[in-house]
Amino acid sequence: MPYQHDTYDRRIQLGASRRRREDAESLYAAGRWAGAVYLGGYTLEWSLKALVCYNKGKDNVKDTKMFRKGVSGVTLHDLTHLLAELPVIKRTITLDRTGRYKEAWNIVTGLWHKDILRYWDRVGNRQDGERFMSAMQMLHNFILGQQGET
């Protein structure tokens, strides 16, 4: 029997974000930078969705106002759109006096082109992979911390 679960469930989103981060870190260590960036982007996507649920007191993305007002398809996978659903986090990133969060966000959104990376036949660029992984890890830790997770 195939493994079945509700992929919109907040706990599933959190667990998937952690596992894809581990996968991204393994790919990065193996010099598979494009694959690391690809999976690292999903790490952030799913942790942001879980945070939307957490902030709204919901256990499932489908129960959020964001989902009910028609956010689906491409928009549901867009990091910038997801961040817009989290105004406090967006403000934190934008107004961070050190600039670290804003720089990390710009690196991630500048390099995570999931539709291109999905079919890309190259290993990727080490420098971009390194910048992305550092930014993704910092943001992931921050997003998890905002929902009492580690």
Percentage of the residues of the chain whose pLDDT score is greater than 90: 76
Q: Where are the domains of the chain?
A: 10-145
- 54-58, 84-88, 107-111, 114-118: segment of lowest average pLDDT: 114-118
What torsion, rounded to 10 degrees, do the Cα atoms 42, 45, 47, 50 define? -130
73-101 b/e (C-beta count within 10 Å ≥ 16 → b): eeeebebeebbebbeebeeebeeeeeeeb
pLDDT band at 69, cuts 50/70/90? confident
For residue 122, give the nearest of 131, 110, 113 by alpha carbon.
113
d(CA 9, CA 33): 29
pLDDT band at 74, cuts 50/70/90? low
What is the amino acid identity at position 53?
C
Evaluate if residue 131 carries a pLDDT over 60: yes
CATH code for the domain defined by 10-145: 1.20.120
